[in-house]
Amino acid sequence: MTRLWCARAWVDNKWASRVLLEANSHGYWQRITPNTEAPQDDTSQFDCVIPGLVNAHSHAFQRTMASLTERQDPNRPGDDFWGWRERMYQVALRIGPTELEIVAEWLYREMLQSGFTQVCEFHYLHLDPEGRPYSDSLELGLALTRAAERAGIGLTLLPTLYMHRGFGQTGLSEAQRRFACTPDEVLEWQSRIQAQAQFSGRTHLLNAGVALHSLRAVDAGAIRAVAQCVGEVPLHIHVAEQTSEVADCVEHLGQRPVEWLLEHIGLDNRWNLVHATHSLRHELAGIASSGATVVLCPTTEANLGDGLFDLTTSLTHEVKWSVGTDSHINRHPALELQLLEYGQRLHLRQRNLAARHAKAHSTAAVLFEGALKGGLASCGQPLGGFLVGQRADAVALDAASAPLFGVPLDHYLDAWVMGQPSMPVSSVWVAGKKLDPKPSKMLQTAWLEVMKKLWS
């Protein structure tokens, strides 16, 4: 049994004092007891503990190009998402299973050090660099599961269906050759991962859903078939990230992306709409009514010049949302939350917008709780915070660190999210197990070799 005594813990959307957290041997919270004196035994004691968060959208291989696409190409006077995508394809063509496993473990350890304890991996690298199947068609997916197991993070693997290069086009481009797969294959991969988790006794740390890359890459029949066959597991799809994508969708399908999904697919609480950046008010209302979740990736969306999601309207309609680091230009959950609020402030020239539109007091609390509850829906694991029966994930913040030192206790969350969101956490637990997420010397060497291979 794991026992943690916390001077302050974030319980049920507020700070509770003198909290004893107890997890059972299966890695789930068994008792949450506030207002109790510190035990006089070897129970670990901490100043400030919060639940771990879900990173609801990750493309692990893109970690290798984070910050390395920030120079203007003289042959491309107007850089945008589509130019970045071409450079991403070049990286995708050079990574094999060994490199992917190294990169993913490095990345997942970074996530743990920043406060993420679960990651949803939107996985569309399926074939070898020549576009041929591996002897095991799940080779690259299994590399991700091994990386997550070594790091200690929970993993929701989302084998991704990718069929077409764009609206009204058949097949993939040569640069997309590694992404090709069929609906039957992604369903088989999802089933295999679930079976592996069952066989290994790791269902609390490993599960699988399915992703459809986007409306431009998957046709309506395939979306319906997968949604009908896959059962009650998370379903993720990129949607309405780019204005040109919205225009193309209207031209080819007769409706905006979210409109089309609501009318022709019938969204429900399994669905996670990644980005949904250019969704209109009536679409956000429809998402809220459907029970679907929006997955927001503010630092990637800013880095790619995507645009601003309408957070204030989504809060008014009580849309569920989670956050992800996507291309991993940033790996800190608090920075994603900070930028989500600051984007609205810059656009509307007002302050504390999340708190106002959620009819709450603390902006940081609204953002943190939104990510916590939405992450639960995105990953399909019991990660709802410090509640009996939820997975025993926890993150300790160092009250003696500069960002928190001297700050009133009730403002710790405000200081972490709005003050210094890149502050590393002091300790992290996943399923009741305390982890050491720092990379080993061997992993550091392997990471350097991968980066040298890709960029030298």
The domain that holds 262 is classified in CATH as 3.20.20.140
- Examine residue 275 and state whether it is found in any structural domain, yes or no: yes
- Do 81 and 27 share a structural domain? no
* Domain endpoint, select from 325, 346, 379: 379
- Examine residue 374 and state whether it is found in any structural domain, yes or no: yes
- Do 236 and 219 share a structural domain? yes
Task: Compute the Cα dihedral for 157, 158, 163, 166 and give only its sign.
Answer: negative
- Examine residue 412 and state whether it is found in any structural domain, yes or no: yes
- Do 173 and 95 share a structural domain? yes
- Examine residue 146 and state whether it is found in any structural domain, yes or no: yes
Distances (CA, A) of 389 to 203, 217, 259, 377, 386: 15, 39, 37, 16, 9
* CB-CB neighbours of 253 under 10 Å: 18
The domain that holds 40 is classified in CATH as 2.30.40.10
- Do 73 and 11 share a structural domain? no
- Do 370 and 302 share a structural domain? yes
- Do 280 and 427 share a structural domain? no
In which domain, by residue range, is 427 found? 2-50+388-441
- Cα dihedral 14, 15, 17, 18, rounded to 10, equals 100
- Examine residue 210 and state whether it is found in any structural domain, yes or no: yes
- Examine residue 446 and state whether it is found in any structural domain, yes or no: no
**Could you tell me the end-to-end alpha-carbon distance of the chain, in angstroms, rounded to an integer?**
48
- Do 427 and 336 share a structural domain? no
* CB-CB neighbours of 348 under 10 Å: 12
From CA 13, how far away is CA 2, in angstroms rounded? Answer: 23
430 neighbors 205 (Cβ within 8 angstroms): yes
- Do 173 and 43 share a structural domain? no
- Do 198 and 178 share a structural domain? yes
The number of folded domains in the chain is 2
From CA 162, how far away is CA 159, in angstroms rounded? Answer: 10
Which amino acids are annotated catalytic?
275, 326
* Domain endpoint, select from 328, 361, 379: 379
- Do 232 and 84 share a structural domain? yes
pLDDT (tens place) for every residue of the chain, 456 residues total: 899 999 999 999 999 999 999 999 999 999 999 999 999 898 899 999 999 999 999 999 999 999 998 888 787 777 888 888 989 999 999 999 999 999 999 999 999 999 999 999 999 999 999 999 999 999 999 999 999 999 999 999 999 999 999 999 999 999 999 999 999 999 999 999 999 999 999 999 999 999 999 999 999 999 999 999 999 999 999 999 999 999 999 999 999 999 999 999 999 999 999 999 999 999 999 999 999 999 999 999 999 999 999 999 999 999 999 999 999 999 999 999 999 999 999 999 999 999 999 999 999 999 999 999 999 999 999 999 999 999 999 999 998 888 899 999 899 999 999 988 777 799 999 999 999 999 999 999 999 999 999 998
- Examine residue 313 and state whether it is found in any structural domain, yes or no: yes
Confidence (pTM):
0.97
- Examine residue 452 and state whether it is found in any structural domain, yes or no: no
- Do 312 and 431 share a structural domain? no
- Do 34 and 66 share a structural domain? no
* Domain endpoint, select from 379, 406, 423: 379
